[in-house]
Each structure stands twice: as structure tokens, then as C-alpha cells.
Amino acid sequence: MSRIVDFELFRDDLARAVPRSDGSKGGRSPFDLVFMFKVLILQASHSLSDERTKFLIKDRLSFMRFLGLGLSDPVPDANTTWTFREALTRAEITGKPAIAVLFCAYEAALCAAGFLAMGGQIVDATVVAAPKQRNTEAEKAELKAGRVPDAWKAHPAKLAQKDRDARWTIKWSKAKPAEDGSKRIDLAVPAFGYKNHIGIDRRHGLIRTWTATDAARHDGAQWPGLLSKANTAGDVWVDTAYRSKANEAYLAGNGFRSRIHRKKPPGKPMARNVARANGGKSKVRAAIEHVFVPAARGRSARPRRWRGARR
């Protein structure tokens, strides 16, 4: 990552997003903005808590090299990391979320390094687990309506521990043979949390677009904002969850070529030519699963630690 991206490109945007004191009032000098941004990258890449981030920066030479630290250099504590992340999460640059502006700068850095978006694009989503909430039916109804339950308003400490943006969804596992081998069954696994929606280019497999929603949002409703006309090819590969007349019309009306998997007819076997076409599409679409795997391994199936959709 250090070889591909010159992190100094982010300095001006970070300075606008998280302004620092001029030092006239004294006090300890703050950590460098680009340094703290790289700390957040390490933290997000490995799904680390603030305390664990501090420990591993001191423990791993690879982290030290990435951050440009020596063995005796100071390391930001958990409160420093939390404060910087919160400031960056809430910041805006020219009316846009700071994270979106920084991501555009990252895209420009990739293009400058020769990693152009080529060969078409692949879009998919993955569930990110959050700590489960033990809410009553009345509290759930209030949250769905966009309101804070009255019982929580009087207890700020309790409210701070509640994730009001995460939602439940059903995640279907791959079909597996039954114990007697006579038929195949699907397993429905409930999940609570969020969804990461991303788009990658086929040539390099690098993330080009992204958005985050609660887990209950339908994948197919999010993808218009994930498609980019900057790609050198118009092909779009996605699974059957994205197939609809509206999405097909959107592709045709914006110069994209549909490579969406076709669904199996209800109660009928899949036609051989359709199955063969889906198999060819799967060989391409599988590349996006390779992007999700390192994140899943880093999380080790643990829930995310930060509450709220903005974080």
C-alpha cells in the first residue's frame, strides 16, 4: 500500500477536515494528520479496537514500518485514536462527507499509479455484524419510525450503548444436502448489523465505489450509486439479487451491459443454456468474493465495535 499510494496526497483534505491548533496556547504537540489517518487504515483493515490498535503498533514491526515509527517513538493512545476518528467521521469538506472526499483522492492516486478501472465492474454486498440489541417490540417500533424511545432519553449512558442504525436481516447459506441425501435444503441465518456495498473493477480487483447501509436494505436498491462510468468497459457482473426490470432498464439507459445472473424458474429445473451462462458469469463475479475474504478473516466473525452508521 505504501508503494502504490503517496499518503501526502491526503494532507490538504485532512487539514480542512480536522483543523489543528496553531500551538499558541501551549500543550503537547498533536500527532501528524497523515500519521493518524494511516493508523485508522490499519485499524479498519484488521478490525481492531482502539486499545488493541495501540498494542499492535508497539508489537508489530510491519505496522511500525507502515507508520514510519522507530522502536522508541510515541504511539497514540486509545483516546487519541477515538477522538481523531470521531472528528473525521463528522467532518465535511466543501459540503461533502470528508470520507467521500478522501476516497476520491485515493481513486486518483490509484489512477496516477497506473491502476485504471478496466474490464468492467463487479458489485456485491456483505453483512457486517454488530452487537445484538435486546430491545422490546415497542422500542423496535420507535427505532423503525426514526425516533428515540422515551425510556432511553432519560438515561444517556444507556442511550450511548444502543446502536439505533443497525437492523436485522436473513442471510441464506448455500444449499446443502440433507442428512439422508434425498434432497437439498437452504439454511436461513438471522444477522444483525450493517451491509458494506462495494464495486470493484475486473482488471485489478480494487474497490472503486462503496456505500454502507443497515443490513435490512435490499442489495439491488443500492447499486445505481455504485456503478461508475469511469470504467473502460461497460460490463456489469452481479448475482441474482440485483436482477429486476428496473435495474435492467437502468443499465440499458446508462450505457452498461448486463451480466446479471438469471434466476431459476420456480418449481422448474434451470435450463441448460442458462446454467452454462450463469457459470461463465460466476467465474468473473467470484473476484469480488476475494475482496471480502481478507475483511472477514480480519474480523474473525466478531461484531464491529463502533455503533452507528456514520462510524
Per-domain residue ranges of the chain: 7-112, 121-130+193-299
Give the CA distances from residue 4 to residues 34, 103, 108, in Å, rounded to whole numbers and listed in that order: 16, 15, 11
pLDDT digits 0-9 by tens, 11-31: 999 999 998 877 777 777 889
Mean pLDDT per 10-residue section of the chain, whose length is 311 residues = 88 92 76 95 86 94 95 94 93 92 91 92 91 86 87 85 88 63 67 91 93 90 89 94 92 94 88 93 93 64 68 79
Count Cβ atoms within 10 A of the Cβ of residue 136 and give its class: 0-12 exposed, 13-18 middle, 19 or more buried: exposed
pLDDT digits 0-9 by tens, 236-256: 999 998 999 999 999 999 999
| DSSP designation for 3 | T
Please state whether beta strands 235-238 and 92-93 pair in parallel, antiparallel, or not at all (unpaired).
unpaired
pLDDT digits 0-9 by tens, 253-276: 999 999 999 988 888 888 999 999
C-alpha span between 272 and 274 (Å, rounded): 5
8 Å CB contact between 125 and 198 = yes
C-alpha span between 131 and 295 (Å, rounded): 18
C-alpha span between 234 and 251 (Å, rounded): 9
Around 239, how many Cα atoms within 13 Å sit in the side-chain half-sphere? 11
Report phi then psi at 245, rounded to 5: -65, -40
Beta strands in 81-135 (DSSP E): 92-93, 96-97, 121-129
Radius of gyration from C-alpha coordinates of the chain: 22
